[in-house]
């Protein structure tokens, strides 16, 4: 059907579904593996074929990130349909990820104050929940066919995870003095200041800090 090798597990959405009977009447619906409905029975495949026993794997994004820009960057320019290779545009990527002004009452990937499907309201516990997020955000993609909705699954399946939490600690260190007449903390006189960002990766299962990086910030 693709006339090329699969690029990632998300493309298994193009694979035909086996029927329980030899001559199904009617044909199974959908005819291909389902990576676009919330309660898809095929969703565990997304975890099965992305299993990795490496203790530390760099470059993956937590599916529960609350930064829409990160998810939008993963979605942008993803091929939405074969063989035309039409890429997903910036507007659709932002809307599916949860742009700063998402449509009212629509659950989208990075969370929303009113929807029930975004990761802010219902955090994802594994890649198999990508199908739930596709169901929530797939209609933002032009055309919204099964193949076009599954653009989200193809984009996120291999580059996301849910086990590691990434935290940013913003530290502002000030030096100075209190005048002799000081009677409260608010009278501290700042004479010098430095700012640092501490990036910390924590294993959600064990609580272990698996990586950290200190970055000095210059305005």
Q: What is the mean pLDDT of residues 75-102?
A: 76
Q: Which residue has the tokens 């829409």?
A: 68
**Averaged pLDDT of the chain:** 81
Torsional class of 161: left (φ above 0), alpha (ψ -120 to 50), beta (otherwise)? beta
Where residue 205 falls among pLDDT bands split at 50, 70, 90? confident
Query: pLDDT band at residue 105, thresholds of 50, 70 and 90?
Result: very low
In the predicted model, is pLDDT for residue 182 greater than 80? yes
Q: What is the pTM of this model?
A: 0.70
Q: Is the pLDDT assigned to residue 215 strictly greater than 70?
A: yes
Tens of pLDDT, residues 35-60: 998 889 999 999 888 877 776 666 78
pLDDT of 106 reads 46
Least confident of 3-12, 82-91, 145-154, 175-184: 82-91
The answer, yes or no, to whether residue 122 has pLDDT greater than 80, is no
- pLDDT higher than 60, residue 23: no
At 31 the pLDDT is 84
Least confident of 22-36, 125-139, 149-163, 170-184: 22-36
Percent of the chain residues past pLDDT 90, beyond the cut: 24
SS3 167: strand
Q: Report DSSP state, residue 148.
A: H
Domain residues of the chain, as ranges? Answer: 9-162, 165-217
Closest residue by Cα to residue 17 from 160, 157, 146: 146
Mean pLDDT computed over 203-213: 86
The pLDDT, as a whole number, for residue 85 is: 64
Compute how many other C-beta atoms are within 10 angstroms of the C-beta atom of residue 103: 14
Contact (Cβ atoms closer than 8 angstroms) between residue 79 and residue 72: no
Q: Is the pLDDT of residue 22 over 90?
A: no
Question: Does the structure show a pLDDT above 90 at 176?
Answer: yes
Confidence of residue 72 (pLDDT cuts 50, 70, 90): confident
pLDDT at 137 over 60: yes
């Amino acid at each position: 059907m693709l006339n090329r090798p699969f690029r990632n597990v998300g493309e298994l959405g193009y694979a035909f579904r086996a029927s329980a009977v030899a001559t199904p009447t009617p044909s199974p619906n959908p005819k291909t593996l389902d990576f676009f409905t919330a309660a898809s029975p095929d969703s565990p495949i997304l975890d099965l074929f992305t299993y990795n026993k490496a203790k530390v794997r760099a470059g993956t994004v937590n599916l529960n990130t609350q930064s829409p820009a990160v998810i939008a960057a993963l979605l942008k320019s993803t091929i939405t349909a074969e063989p035309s290779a039409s890429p997903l545009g910036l507007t659709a990527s932002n809307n599916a990820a949860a742009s700063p002004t998402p449509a009212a009452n629509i659950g989208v990937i990075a969370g929303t104050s009113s929807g029930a499907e975004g990761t802010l309201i219902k955090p994802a516990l594994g890649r198999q929940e990508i199908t739930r997020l596709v169901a929530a955000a797939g209609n933002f993609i032009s055309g919204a066919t099964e193949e076009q909705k599954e653009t989200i699954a193809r984009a996120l399946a291999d580059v996301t995870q849910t086990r590691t939490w990434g935290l940013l600690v913003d530290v502002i260190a000030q030096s100075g003095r209190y005048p002799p007449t000081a009677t409260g903390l608010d009278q501290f006189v700042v004479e010098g200041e430095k700012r640092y960002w501490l990036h910390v990766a924590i294993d959600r299962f064990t609580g272990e800090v698996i990586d950290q990086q200190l970055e000095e910030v210059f305005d």
